[in-house]
């Protein structure tokens, strides 16, 4: 199977983003149809690509326009790309299916779908491109569309959160552009593989560390690492629920963690062996994220704000997995990307379902919802068990791998911290269960109706995938996550894979 399907990952959502405004003037529901068809097509493409990759296990390359590697943009598809694309398109399709009924609250339906398609186009584009300026352009496409989506309801809170998110996020984007300018000044090319070859002979001068630090600042703002996290607790609750699911589940990971690890490991060739201070810095920020996110989440009264702080904490787990730097740490981090995307997407969709049915997100006002909304309640319970690391769900295995990685690098305190804070995670997630769903038998159950069929279908789909990922972790580990970790660990060897053909 050759690589001709690679541009379709970007063309399908972008073409539907341009067609939706045209066709919705004829019939308003056309937007739903086009958007969901595009989402399903993207999921089909990513599953197809992953199966192709399992069959013959060779990096797929596509030269746009026929230009050779050093002159033009190449799209490259290896195991890490396959993993991230599966996460992005699964959560994207679930959110699209959910928003068919959820958008009855909002006006301007087709604008939502058009912006959502642009976000998906940007996310797919960041993952699949092999050219560093192209990655920046797609980062900005998805970021600007997400600023508009966060402020979609144009109510008081949403406007404030959207403006704050926008200013902070754009400063991060500008930092990435500055770093790309400095990198181009030294390497004279934009293709990631050729740049990594130049960087191999460059040496770790102060200019090198300045470029690395500027990239780190830019990506840290996008992924809400702790000193730069101030936008996330306001932006994720204020967005409409499917957008929150996409943002928390996928966006901060693709734009932040995937882009950072691709640049750090493959382009710059850094690893634990030759850049230990940088990895210790990542560990420090990760630990800070886990502690700050976890403790602040315990004090929240708003359903979605609690989940947003939990996202900060889980990004901390992924960061310590990357900061440990050996095979099991990176495997744990990548597996946690999958598990957290599915789990947190599911939790935000249940929050949207509760808001759709009762009109409020305040935990003090909700009680006993499991009588009237059983699907939502059980989805929340099983999803939160997965995120807290309870076997046999997916989150247990990812935290287990991170702890194994910490132990084999002899960082015992890190393993203890990871295990301790997964108890804290279970604590604050169960708090929602106690208040809103299964507990408080003394209060009257809040009047509510179960979620409509399409919303319930989206939630059940994500739930089934979370359970399946947990039970069937071994084939996923061997065929997808393990080779993806090897892609990152081989560092500068990435260039051989891309340029040798």
Partner 1 sequence: MIAMFACMVLLLVGLYAVVIKRNIIRIIIGFSLVEYAVNLFFALVGFKHNGIPPIITDVAQSRSNFVDPVPQALVLTAIVIGLATTALMLALAMRIYEKYRTFDVTEIRRLKG
Partner 2 sequence: MSLIVQVIARLLAGMLFLFGTYVVLHGHLTPGGGFAGGVLIAAAFILMSLAFGSVEQTERNSYTLSSVVESLGGVLFVSLALAGYLAGVFFFQNASVYGTGTPLKLISGGIILPANIAIGIKVGAGLFAMFLALGASRFVMKD
Q: Note the residues at the interface with partner 2 (CB under 8 A).
A: 4, 7, 11, 14-15, 18-19, 21-22, 25, 62-66, 107-108
> Does 160 sit near partner 1 (CB under 8 A)?
yes
Q: How many CA atoms lie within 13 A of 217 on its CB side?
A: 17
- The residue within the footprint of partner 1, chosen from 3, 174, 272, 440 (CB under 8 A), is 174
Q: Measure CA of the first residue to CA of the last residue in the chain; give whole Å.
A: 16
CB of 165 to partner 2, least distance (A): 20
Beta bridge partners of 74: 63
Count of C-beta atoms within a 10 Å radius of residue 19: 16
Q: What is d(CA 307, CA 292) in angstroms, rounded to the nearest whole number?
A: 14
The span of 182-190, 283-291, 381-389, 464-472 binding partner 1 (CB under 8 A) equals 182-190
Q: What is d(CA 57, CA 55) in angstroms, rounded to the nearest whole number?
A: 6
> Does 107 sit near partner 1 (CB under 8 A)?
no
CB of 351 to partner 1, least distance (A): 17
Q: Are the C-beta atoms of 239 and 150 separated by less than 8 Å?
A: yes
Q: Are the C-beta atoms of 313 and 217 separated by less than 8 Å?
A: no
- Residue with smaller CB distance to partner 2, 128 or 492: 128
- Residue with smaller CB distance to partner 1, 160 or 450: 160
> Does 181 sit near partner 1 (CB under 8 A)?
yes
CB of 164 to partner 1, least distance (A): 8
- Residue with smaller CB distance to partner 1, 76 or 140: 140
Which one-letter DSSP state was computed for residue 193? Answer: H
CB of 466 to partner 1, least distance (A): 29
Q: What is d(CA 235, CA 79) in angstroms, rounded to the nearest whole number?
A: 31
Residues in binding contact with partner 1, number by CB under 8 A: 34
> Does 166 sit near partner 1 (CB under 8 A)?
yes
- Residue with smaller CB distance to partner 1, 166 or 278: 166
> Does 291 sit near partner 1 (CB under 8 A)?
no
> Does 148 sit near partner 1 (CB under 8 A)?
yes
> Does 240 sit near partner 1 (CB under 8 A)?
no
CB of 12 to partner 2, least distance (A): 10
DSSP notation for 94-144: HHHHHHHHHGGGSS-HHHHHHHHHHHHHHHHHHHHB-BHHHHHHHHHHHHH
Q: What is d(CA 355, CA 319) in angstroms, rounded to the nearest whole number?
A: 32
DSSP notation for 346-377: HHHHHHHHHHHHHS--BGGG---TTTT-HHHH
Count of C-beta atoms within a 10 Å radius of residue 44: 12
- Residue with smaller CB distance to partner 2, 25 or 441: 25
> Does 177 sit near partner 1 (CB under 8 A)?
yes
Count of C-beta atoms within a 10 Å radius of residue 387: 31
Q: Which does 1 bind (CB under 5 to 8 A by kind): partner 2, partner 1, none?
A: none
Residues 6+ apart with CB under 8 A from 3: 60, 61, 62, 75, 77
3-state secondary structure 165-179: HHHHHHHHHHHHHHH
Site string for partner 1, 346-365 (x = CB under 8 A): --------------------
Nearest of 96, 92, 98, 35 to residue 356 by alpha carbon: 98
> Does 298 sit near partner 1 (CB under 8 A)?
no
- Residue with smaller CB distance to partner 2, 23 or 184: 23
- The residue within the footprint of partner 1, chosen from 1, 11, 299, 416 (CB under 8 A), is 299
- Residue with smaller CB distance to partner 1, 131 or 370: 131
> Does 156 sit near partner 1 (CB under 8 A)?
yes
CB of 2 to partner 1, least distance (A): 29
Binding residues for partner 1, per CB under 8 A?
Answer: 133, 137, 140, 144, 147-148, 151, 154-157, 159-163, 166-167, 170-171, 174, 177-178, 180-181, 184-185, 190, 233-234, 238, 299-300, 305
């Amino acid at each position: 199977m050759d690589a001709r399907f690679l541009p379709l990952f970007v063309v399908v959502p972008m073409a539907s983003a341009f067609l939706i405004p045209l066709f919705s003037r004829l019939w308003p529901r056309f937007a739903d149809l086009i958007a969901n068809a595009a989402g399903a097509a993207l999921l089909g493409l990513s599953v197809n690509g992953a199966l192709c990759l399992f069959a013959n296990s060779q990096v797929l390359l596509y030269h746009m326009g026929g230009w050779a590697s050093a002159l033009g943009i190449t799209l490259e598809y290896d195991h890490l790309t396959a993993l991230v694309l599966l996460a992005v398109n699964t959560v994207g399709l679930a959110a699209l299916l959910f928003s068919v009924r959820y958008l009855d609250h909002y006006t301007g339906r087709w604008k939502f779908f058009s912006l959502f398609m642009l976000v998906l186009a940007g996310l797919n584009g960041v993952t699949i491109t092999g050219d560093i300026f192209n990655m920046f352009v797609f980062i900005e496409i998805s970021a600007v569309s997400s600023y508009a989506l966060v402020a979609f309801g144009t109510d008081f809170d949403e406007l404030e959160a959207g403006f704050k998110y926008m200013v902070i996020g754009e400063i991060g984007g500008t930092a990435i552009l500055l770093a790309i300018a400095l990198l181009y000044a030294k390497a004279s090319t934009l293709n990631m593989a050729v740049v990594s070859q130049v960087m191999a002979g460059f040496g770790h001068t102060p200019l090198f560390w300045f470029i690395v630090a500027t990239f780190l600042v830019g990506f840290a703002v996008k992924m809400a690492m702790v000193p730069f996290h101030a936008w996330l607790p306001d932006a994720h609750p204020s967005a409409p629920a499917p957008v929150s699911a996409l943002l928390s589940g996928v966006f901060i990971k693709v734009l932040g963690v995937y882009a950072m690890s691709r640049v750090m490991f493959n382009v710059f060739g850094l690893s634990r062996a030759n850049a230990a201070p940088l990895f210790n810095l990542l560990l420090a920020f990760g630990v800070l994220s886990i502690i700050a996110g976890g403790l602040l989440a315990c004090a929240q009264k708003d359903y979605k704000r609690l989940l947003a702080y939990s996202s900060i904490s889980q990004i901390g787990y992924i960061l310590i997995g990357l900061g440990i730097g050996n095979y099991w740490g990176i495997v744990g981090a990548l597996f946690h990307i999958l598990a957290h995307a599915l789990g947190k997407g599911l939790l935000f969709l249940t929050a949207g379902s509760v808001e759709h049915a009762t009109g409020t997100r305040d935990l003090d006002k909700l009680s006993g919802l499991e009588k009237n909304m059983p699907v939502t309640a059980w989805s929340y319970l099983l999803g939160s068990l997965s995120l807290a690391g309870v076997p046999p769900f997916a989150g247990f295995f990812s935290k287990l791998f991170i702890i194994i990685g910490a132990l084999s690098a002899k960082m015992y305190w890190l393993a203890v911290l990871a295990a301790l804070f997964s108890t804290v995670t279970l604590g604050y997630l169960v708090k929602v269960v106690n208040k809103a769903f299964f507990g408080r038998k003394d209060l009257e159950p809040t009047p509510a109706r179960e979620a409509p069929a399409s919303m319930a279908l989206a939630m059940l789909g994500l739930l089934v995938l979370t359970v399946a990922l947990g039970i069937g972790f071994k084939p996923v580990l061997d065929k997808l996550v393990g080779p993806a970790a090897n892609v990152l660990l081989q560092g500068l060897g990435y260039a051989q894979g891309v340029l040798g053909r």
